[in-house]
Amino acid sequence: MLRFFRTLLFLFSLISIQSKAQLVDYWHRNEAQPRMDSLLGIFQNKILYVDSAEALAEIRYLEKVTKPSLELHYLAKFMEGCYYGGGLQPNIPKSLPIFLKAVRDIKPYSNKWTPELASMYVFHLQAAASHYFMQEKGMEPQAQQLYIESDSIYKKIGYDNAFGSFQVLVNIGDFYLRMKEYPVALDYLQRAAKYMDKDPWNWYKINYYNDVGLCLSRLQKHEDAIHAFEKIEPLIVRPRDSVWVGLLNGNIGEEYYTLGRLEEAEKCLLIDYQYSIRYKEICSAVNTLRTLVEISKKLHRLDKEKKYLDWGLYWSKSCNNREYLYKLLQQHSAYLYEIKDYKKALEVRIVADSLADSLSLAAQRRNIGEKAQAYEEKQKEAALKILEQEKEYATLQRNFLLFAMLAILVLAVFVFRTMRLNAQRQQGLLALQQSQLEHERQEALLELHSFRQNINQKNKLIKHFQQELLSLKSIQQQEDYDAALQQLEEPSFVTQQDWVLFSKAFEKVHPSFLQNLQKKYPQVTPAETRLLVLTKLQYSGKEIASALGVSLDAVHKSRYRLRKKLDLPEEDNFTNLIEEASGLVQI
């Protein structure tokens, strides 16, 4: 309530402002208070009733000389759109782009809207919606979408917090009234009633009561409609509001006529007729006269019936509505028939029928034109739908290809990484195996080396003991000497188990040697194999004898027999045979 009185105080102060300097000074002095609703009202008032060019010039001047403000800037844009789109001949092609551009420009600020800026956005939305509705048929869905968006925004910020809530709801109700959705329209108008006291401008209150009355009338609540229309009269306090006098009496007169209160209807409709003529609404005046003719006919007042017919026929010459003229001619023919002027009644009836035929033909042409237009629109819609489907298909195809390429790329990367990991794992295992083999080979080499050192050590010991025995030799001890010497020369470590361990170590150092030897020379015996193995290790004859536990002479004999068996020359030291078994030459 306090804000309402502040607003009224501001309005009275603003009305008293006579110069642009005073306007700017008042703006700065009251900068801390929200004034958008007051400014909007005062400038709307100037645009509607006084001088729209002056209002637009003042707000542009105020925008230029005061602190920059988004709210004030878009208020100026709203007034500019109203300047071009208002009046009896609105320039919609020029005003509609202004509202739509403002909507696009304000929307990015939605995260930091003030109530004033949000209200500016909604006002531009509703102005654009109204222009869509006025522009041409078929634009109703676009207009409805904008009205729904404006309602959702005010619900979000709260109708109680926003300014102009009454006007916004009245505009939405007015739209649904024109769309003939009367219960929906009445619901919005009843919601608007809550905020009526916050709006100081009678123009929207008049529009509100008029819309409520029309909704109630369409819903067959004629007494309630009359009560709504009657609330308009106290609000018409200025001469420039007198246009509503005719509209008000016309609406009330129609309700009285519907209820059968003919004399009261006649009084109201006569006032409506007079104001229609004053404001040059000739077709509206002709339509009102038609109703007055019907009232006079029902009241059996032939003089008034003739007077209203004469007025209607006179003004119909200036009205391009041929349907009104046809109905007037029908009424005139009925009147002439009633006063028994049958000849003239027939003539007027013939003229009316010919006009009806032309109207029917025109209606048929119009119907054909509308069907042709509807067909063309359907064709265009079908073509657009096909084009959209082709675009969607192309988009889906492109997305599928991109997805397929991406999937292939991901799969290739996955396979590459898997192969690389497997290769690294295989390399790691191979390296580990090689390391283990190398370790085993080194251990086998150590074992072979140790085996050879043991043989050499044994030979040294044998030689040492032989020398000791020679120094102690006597004739009496000859037999004991020979037996001891024979025991020393027999190695005690060459057993089958020793040979198995030795051969395992040898296989680790020289893999496949024994297998190749057996494959190439299957006739070689195990004893001969041992001889060749020790020869491969480059053992001397004495080392071989010690390892095998035989004499050196036995070693030479074994070599001789092996050469003969394998058909080798006497000077051959088994070099080629060993190389073949080692895989150094092709077997």
Place of tokens 């402002």: 17
What's the pLDDT tens digit per position in 219-233?
A: 999 999 999 988 988
pLDDT at 237: 74
Buried b (16+ CB within 10 A) or exposed e, 215-247: bbbeeebbebbbebbebbeebbeeeeeeebbbb
pLDDT at 215: 92
CA angle 296, 299, 304 (to 5 degrees): 30
Number of helices followed by number of strands (H, E) in the chain:
25, 0
pLDDT at 59: 63
3-state secondary structure of 100: helix
pLDDT at 560: 81
- Give, as one character, the DSSP assignment of residue 238: S
pLDDT at 586: 45
Alpha-carbon separation of residue 190 from 151, 173, 193 (angstroms): 14, 9, 5
pTM: 0.56
H/E element, 259: helix 243-259
Nearest by Cα to 517 from 508, 530, 500? 530
Distance between start and end Cα atoms, the chain: 117
The answer to whether 494 touches 547, Cβ cutoff 8 Å, is yes
Query: Is residue 42 packed enough to be buried (19+ CB in 10 Å), middle (13-18) or exposed (0-12)?
Result: buried
The backbone torsions φ and ψ at residue 549, rounded to the nearest 5 degrees and listed phi first, read 75, 35
587 residues of the chain, pLDDT tens digit each: 233 333 333 333 333 333 434 444 444 444 433 444 445 544 444 444 445 566 666 666 666 655 556 777 777 777 777 777 765 566 777 888 888 888 888 888 777 777 777 878 888 888 888 877 776 666 778 888 888 888 888 888 888 877 778 888 988 898 899 888 999 999 999 998 888 887 766 777 888 899 999 999 999 999 999 999 889 888 887 766 677 888 889 999 999 999 999 999 999 999 988 988 888 888 888 889 989 999 999 988 888 888 988 898 888 888 777 788 888 888 888 888 888 888 888 888 888 888 777 777 766 777 777 777 778 878 888 888 888 888 888 888 888 888 888 889 898 888 888 888 888 888 878 777 777 777 776 776 676 676 766 666 666 656 655 666 566 555 445 555 555 555 444 444 456 666 777 777 777 777 777 888 788 888 888 888 887 878 777 778 777 777 777 778 888 888 888 788 877 776 666 777 777 776 654 44
The answer to whether 253 touches 291, Cβ cutoff 8 Å, is yes
